[in-house]
Structure 1
Amino acid sequence: MTYQYEVAVQAEATLGEGPTWDAARERLIWVDILGSRVHTYEPGSGRRSVRTTEQHVGAAKPRAGGGLVLNLRDGIGLVDLDGTFRWLHHDPVPGRRGNDAAVAPDGSLWAGTMRYDEAPGGGTLSRTTGDGSTATVLDDVTVSNGTGWSPDGRLMYYIDTPTRQVDVFHHEDGRVVDRRRFAQIEEGAGFPDGLTVDADGCVWVALWDGGAVRRYTPDGELDRVVELPTPRVTACAFGGKDLTDLYITTARVGLDRPHPTAGSLLVVPGAGKGLPQPAFAG
């Protein structure tokens, strides 16, 4: 199958990341981590907005009551509907920042961290509930990245990028056990970054320095590849009213001669069928 991409938002994001469909407002939210910006894009009207944050921002997700939850350098913050910012969980660690994050079926935020120097074991994956209670789920992580759940919520998929693999856990009541390898990215094909799970339980994985997004079946078999013109593909998510359009973020950081699409938000119309994503319960 051949996929055709389009440029949804022409941009020059240093490190575009974390596309998320906000169904309540029919918009796509994404971030430029190192640019400290939260972007929104409404496909129906073409309207766009940009909010600058005071810190590097690893992820931005919609909240059930409106506004955003942010995975920032120094912890988890909330943006209210009027734009007011406040900390939900403040946990600064020198040399460390927030990275990718995802909202679980129960409305909790699973937020990853990493060290700026990418030192092995310097990151974590933590779970934060709506009242700000936070617990470490995984430690000894290097670059915490893609996180997602199967359609029934019983499996959690997870990427620690330097391992070159996608792992899967059994998930129940906010706990994960029985970690095992789901898919291995071969040498020379790039590194796994962000991921999303579709309505068929297939896992779509963005490949940093791989110039592609891959789809793996629930059995871990590679069955589709979306080829893209720029190498630093960071994350993907389904959006649009019917959740059939695959939105893809990209990065320019570290590229000597970036392709014109590097740092832009791309979209592949009709790529598949996504799952409705829960809002953060806080």
Structure 2
Amino acid sequence: MQAGADMTVQSVLPVGAMLGEGPVWTGDALWFVDIKGRAVHRFDPGDGSSQAWSAPDQVGWVLPAEAGDMIAGVKTGLHRFDPVTGSFALLHDPEPDYPGNRLNDAATDRTGRLWFGSMDDGEAAMTGRLYRCDGGACRDTRLPPVAITNGPAISADGRTLYHTDTLGKTIWRVAIADDGALGAPERHIVVGKAEGYPDGSVIDAEGCLWVAFYGGWGVRRYDPSGRMMRFVRFPVANVTKIAFGGANLTTAYATSARKGLDNAALEAQPLAGHLFTFDPGVAGLPVTPAKI
């Protein structure tokens, strides 16, 4: 962590998302989604402008694609999303036998392989799985199923996957072979009872893992051994994921959620669901477009 980093958290876009998620920096803007609001958002920090597109169903994330458009994880499957026309075109439904599931979080590795997870929309059944799309084919990674998959994050060298079991409050570390096959998962971080639930995660340029906490009032930074190095407190309880953006990827953006907050909590947290920013004191890694 660089000396003098300003960890003050500020709201930069008052979207009031019911379930903001999936921030990603591409081009000169930040993209994110409101899962329950069925919307894709784009925020330009240069002039403070924003745009929004309606999705055909709950949308867990969008990521840049090699073709120049975007890939979206919608409840009904992987879609190609064209921001110019606002259209969504179904590419692949990985779980036709699990209509109660939806796609939840995703990341690409340095080769452009797409890693994404599913979850039980009711947040109870152990039906969530992690998938890998490579060379036009999507495969179940065969990691043990969980209720809510989250935070697939991949190390800079592409050899380690961090996979989150949100309700199990555990982040697993898994070796990745050259062909994308996974080794045996190893327990990496176990979250305490009072810390909230580990949500989305991302790796920084120093190989450390930043994890957002739902019900945990902030984000935590862990070193490669799994030791917590920093806690950044937010003015809202439900922080869902961060992304590194800006010209040098040195600005952190974070999504948040209103979901699960009663009227008293919403009154106490008027910024819930907004998009936030802070100076993390470290750069992030560029996002490789998905090769789909």
- What is the TM-score when the length of structure 2 is the normalising length? 0.91
SS of residue paired to 2:167 = helix
Residue 120 of structure 1, CA deviation: 3.5
Tell me the secondary structure at the aligned position of residue 163 of structure 1.
Answer: coil
- Deviation digits for residues 25-70 of structure 1, max 9, x if unmatched? 2111100001000001111222211011010001111112211101
1:216-227 residue pairs with structure 2 within 5 A?
216-227=222-233
More strand by share: 1
Tell me the alpha carbon deviations over residues 64-122 of structure 1, each in whole angstroms, 9 at most, x when there is no partner.
Answer: 22111011111100023542321110244321111111112221221111112223321
Aligned match of 1:272 in 261, 278, 282?
282
Shift of 1:165: 1.6
More displaced 10-residue stretch of structure 1: 197-206 or 268-277: 268-277
Match of 2:197 in 1: 191
Tell me the residue number matched to 2:114.
Answer: 109
36-45 or 113-122: which moved more? 113-122
Determine if contact 1:246/1:272 at 8 Å carries over to the other structure.
Answer: no
Instruction: Return 5+ residue gaps in structure 2 as ranges.
Output: none
Distance 1:94 1:144 in 2: 16
Q: Which amino acid aligns with 1:89?
A: H
Q: What amino acid is the match of 2:122? A: D
Cα distance in 1 between the residues matched to 2:61 and 2:125: 22
Paired residue for 1:28, among 15, 27, 30? 30
Which residue, 71, 74, 91 being the options, matches 2:73?
71
Deviation at 1:276, TM superposition (A): 0.9
Query: Which residue is 1:209 aligned to?
Result: 215
Task: Report the Cα distance in structure 2 between the residues aligned to 1:159 and 1:185, rounded to whole angstroms.
Answer: 11
The aligned residue for residue 90 of structure 2 is 87
Q: What CA distance in whole angstroms lies between the structure 2 residues aligned with 1:29 and 1:81?
A: 11
Contact 1:18 1:235 in 2 (8 A): yes
Aligned residues between the structures? 279
Q: Which amino acid aligns with 1:249?
A: T
Letter in 1 for 2:11: V
Query: What one-letter code is carried by the residue in structure 2 that aligns with 1:76?
Result: L
Deviation at 1:270, TM superposition (A): 4.5
User: 2:101 — aligned with what?
Assistant: 96
1:43 maps to 2:45: yes
Letter in 2 for 1:86: A
Q: 1:166 to 1:101 in 2, by over 3 A?
A: same
Whole-angstrom CA distance in 2 between matches of 1:170 and 1:149: 10
Q: Give the percent of matched residue pairs that are identical in Structure 1 and Structure 2.
A: 37
Query: 1:176-209: CA deviations, max 9, x gaps?
Result: 1131111111111101000010011000010110
RMSD: 1.5
Identify which of 241, 244, 251 aligns with 1:245. 251
- Counterpart residue identity of residue 196, structure 2: G
Partner of 2:23: 19
One-letter amino acid of the counterpart of residue 90, structure 2 = W
